[in-house]
Amino acid sequence: MITKPDFNYGLNLSAHMLNENGGEELQLQCCVGSEEEWKLFSDNNFNQNSSKINYHNKHFLKNKIYDKETRIQGKVVVITGGNSGIGKETAVNLAKRGGKIYIGCRDNIKGEKALKEIKKRSGNKNVFLLNLDLASVESIREFSNKFHEAESKLHILINNAGVMGCPKSKTKDGFETHFGTNYLGHFLLTNLLLDIMKQSIPSRIIFVSATAHKFGILNKEDLMSDNSYSRFKAYCQSKLAINLFAYELSKRIVGTRITVNIADPGIVVTDIWRHYVKPDWLKSILQSILRKFLNTPKEGSQTSLRLAVDKNLERISGKYYKSCKEIEPSVDSRNEELSCWLWKRSAELIESLKVVLITGANTGIGRETAIDLARRGGKVYIACRDMEKSEQALEVIRKESQSSETFLLNLDLASIESIRKFSKNFHEIESKLHILINNAGVMACPKSYTKDGFEMQIGVNHLGHFLLTQLLLDRLKASAPSRIVVVSSSGHKLSDINKLDLMSDKAYNKIKAYGQSKLANILFTRYLAMKLEGSGVTVNSCHPGIVQTDLGRHMESWLRPIYRKILFPYYKSIKEGAQTQIRLAVDPDLEHVTGKYFVDCHEVEPSKAALNDETAAWLWKKSTEMIYVKYKQLEKMHLIKY
């Protein structure tokens, strides 16, 4: 018979079972924590018309053993959560078969201990440990970077790590812990490793799911369980999400000779139950009972092993296996609409964690860009000179975007000292920078100079951003794939680079000086793109169009109305003017496009002068020299002390 649990503990379920011969009664303690969960569990697991659950003394809920001695000599394997339970047993077995094994673990101390055991039991020294916290996007990206540095191939990826029955909590990036660790972490990791797996074909991806996926419901309206939390439902949802991802991925990479399959290990006595069963004495009793008739970690690893090495499965993909045999998962696991939606939403959630820096974002297209990228979930920093105006702009950005992840930092691009201080402050705050938009600028100024003696327009529009970008390159490289967007103008066609009088000391024309600074933007973009080739950092420039902002505030007052009247038919709104740089910042289709110039969201050819590689090289060298000299002067005058 099945007895309703006592919920005083809130964590243990009693189900009395008779063996098929009517023999000794056994008691199973399981992970159900509320009356609601008991109903869901019992309705789905037990036939209420039957008074007993049949089992075989030796094989009740036990997995079949995969006994083929297939070798994987020379193959590179990654196993997440390989320091304990099923993951560790999988690592031992695959190491015995000759594989080069990497275990990804959060706890390095436990990982080192497991590493020694795996090497000793397998007799294989080709086993390595890499730190990996699936509850941290930063850690996942670092793992990927280190693995790419260490290996050029990956033949088998086993997404094994997971948590179960956690109290309500969030990952480091704000995702519900089950969903973030079990699913989203593996979603990102798998996508980051796909390139290297495509170079290693035939290759295999195995996701470790659970029968609990059958109880899972993907809650589109409350994916992170913010409104209502049940640890049982959250776990089940994460396992359903794994199935949907595996199914969708298998469709997207069909024909690549990378296979994707799901392993259900059955009910296994491992440390994954640690959050569910309290107190510890009850957990010890429960484990001793369960070991008699449920799977050991070794038995639980058998299905993953078969999917990883069996030659008969080399072309099998998109399937669900349990006890080493293919079975049908839940209907929802194959829901095409749901799998497509989940993929898109997951990509959005990962993208939303990107750190963005926009210069001059307190007005005009800069502010509009900040609003848009904050709406998309980015962590947006606006860098501005006038803090009073910028505080007001920050309020507008937060209100319009409905995002609190927007911040203000002081930056004066007309001052080397300010730029250096800004960089130092940013490095102390952030370890990553995914998108840098060099948007700030001045136009048609009366003849004037920056604090360091540079002509104002070339100093602010070009040299200020030249230095800022150089100082932030380490953060951009650490965040690859990352992007630099340089806002130029069609005004670049109005001038050339005056090598003999770059600072317009001999003759000053405010329009030509502006045109020269915008031409310098494009030359800088193209030369930097060449220098960053292969780094994962792209650099592109754009013309926002003729936008009515306060950029033309330095024009003579009598000329402004005439200028506006002539150009009115060509004017864009501020929102329209921001679209090209927004596309360059976020469009997935442009991830590998670099060194190009865009107008109206399309790539176009800039002027011939902008394509002159000799001038670009000269400008780079000259800019470096000027900034170096000025910086050294400031250092000697003790105006810069760091």
Rounded to an integer, the average pLDDT of 188-209 is 95
Same domain? 144 vs 175 = yes
**pLDDT value at position 549?**
54
Rounded to an integer, the average pLDDT of 508-521 is 97
Same domain? 337 vs 428 = no
- What is the DSSP-derived secondary structure letter of residue 291? T
| Cα within 13 Å of Cα(58), Cβ side | 2
Please report whether residue 137 resides in a domain.
yes
Buried b (16+ CB within 10 A) or exposed e, 345-381: ebeebbebbbbbbbbbbbbbbbbbbbbbbbebbbbbb
Question: In whole angstroms, what is the distance from residue 26 CA to residue 19 CA?
Answer: 8
Neighbour count for residue 69 (Cβ, 10 Å): 8
- For 63-118, the pLDDT digits (tens) are 678 889 999 999 999 999 999 999 999 999 999 999 999 999 999 999 999 999 99
Q: How far is CA 101 from CA 116, 302, 403, in A?
A: 13, 17, 42
Please report whether residue 25 resides in a domain.
no
- pLDDT of residue 528 exceeding 70, the answer is yes
**Residues 556, 491: contact at Cβ < 8 Å?**
no
Task: Count the domains in the chain.
Answer: 2
* Final residue belonging to a domain, choices 289, 319, 346: 346
19: confidence class by pLDDT, cuts 50, 70, 90: very low
Please report whether residue 67 resides in a domain.
no
Rounded to an integer, the average pLDDT of 444-466 is 96
Of 490, 495, 483, 406, which is closest to residue 455 (Cα–Cα)? Answer: 495
- pLDDT of residue 50 exceeding 50, the answer is no
Rounded to an integer, the average pLDDT of 497-514 is 96
47: confidence class by pLDDT, cuts 50, 70, 90: very low
CA angle 580, 581, 583 (to 5 degrees): 65
- pLDDT of residue 284 exceeding 90, the answer is no
Identified catalytic residue from 66, 320, 381, 514: 514
- pLDDT of residue 6 exceeding 80, the answer is no
Of 616, 472, 478, which is closest to residue 541 (Cα–Cα)? Answer: 616
* Final residue belonging to a domain, choices 283, 311, 346: 346
Same domain? 257 vs 391 = no
376: confidence class by pLDDT, cuts 50, 70, 90: confident
Same domain? 241 vs 306 = yes
Question: In whole angstroms, what is the distance from residue 496 CA to residue 427 CA?
Answer: 36
Same domain? 119 vs 225 = yes
Rounded to an integer, the average pLDDT of 464-476 is 97
Determine phi and psi for 83, rounding to 5 degrees: -95, -5
**pLDDT value at position 375?**
85
Question: In whole angstroms, what is the distance from residue 299 CA to residue 385 CA?
Answer: 64
Determine phi and psi for 335, rounding to 5 degrees: -75, 110
Sign of CA dihedral 404, 410, 413, 419: negative
- pLDDT of residue 511 exceeding 60, the answer is yes
SS3 content of the chain, % helix, strand, coil (to 5): 45, 15, 35
- pLDDT of residue 287 exceeding 80, the answer is no
**pLDDT value at position 588?**
81
* Strand ranges inside 81-144, DSSP E: 100-105, 127-131
Beta bridge partners of 220: none
Same domain? 554 vs 437 = yes
Non-local (6+) Cβ contacts of 399 within 8 A are none
Same domain? 370 vs 400 = yes
Please give the span between the terminal C-alpha atoms of the chain, in angstroms, as a whole number. 75
**pLDDT value at position 562?**
55
Window from 166-170, 387-391, 403-407, 508-512 with minimum mean pLDDT: 403-407
Window from 169-173, 251-255, 366-370 with minimum mean pLDDT: 169-173
- pLDDT of residue 415 exceeding 80, the answer is yes
**pLDDT value at position 294?**
74
- For 52-71, the pLDDT digits (tens) are 333 333 344 556 788 899 99
- For 312-364, the pLDDT digits (tens) are 999 999 999 999 999 999 999 999 999 999 999 998 888 777 899 999 999 99
The angle that helices 613-636 and 510-531 make with each other, rounded to 10 degrees, is 100
Same domain? 373 vs 313 = no
**pLDDT value at position 513?**
96
Lateral strand order in the sheet of 355-359: 406-410, 379-384, 355-359, 435-438, 482-487, 537-543, 597-599, 602-604
Catalytic (active site) residue 514: yes
Neighbour count for residue 582 (Cβ, 10 Å): 20
Full domain range(s) for residue 592: 354-636
The residue written with tokens 């965040």 in the block is 479
| Cα within 13 Å of Cα(19), Cβ side | 11
- pLDDT of residue 577 exceeding 90, the answer is yes
15: confidence class by pLDDT, cuts 50, 70, 90: very low
- pLDDT of residue 561 exceeding 80, the answer is no
Same domain? 533 vs 618 = yes
Same domain? 432 vs 542 = yes
224: confidence class by pLDDT, cuts 50, 70, 90: very high
**Residues 262, 210: contact at Cβ < 8 Å?**
no
Of 391, 399, 392, which is closest to residue 371 (Cα–Cα)? Answer: 399
282: confidence class by pLDDT, cuts 50, 70, 90: low
Written as one letter, the residue type at 246 is A
Same domain? 599 vs 629 = yes
Rounded to an integer, the average pLDDT of 219-243 is 94
- For 299-319, the pLDDT digits (tens) are 999 999 999 999 999 999 999
- pLDDT of residue 601 exceeding 80, the answer is yes
**pLDDT value at position 285?**
63
Please report whether residue 70 resides in a domain.
no
* Final residue belonging to a domain, choices 285, 319, 346: 346
Please report whether residue 5 resides in a domain.
no
**pLDDT value at position 61?**
53
pTM of the complete model? 0.59
**pLDDT value at position 27?**
34
Please report whether residue 200 resides in a domain.
yes
**pLDDT value at position 571?**
75
Please report whether residue 59 resides in a domain.
no
**Residues 401, 378: contact at Cβ < 8 Å?**
no
Same domain? 375 vs 244 = no
CATH of the domain at 392: 3.40.50.720
Please report whether residue 151 resides in a domain.
yes
**Residues 134, 140: contact at Cβ < 8 Å?**
yes
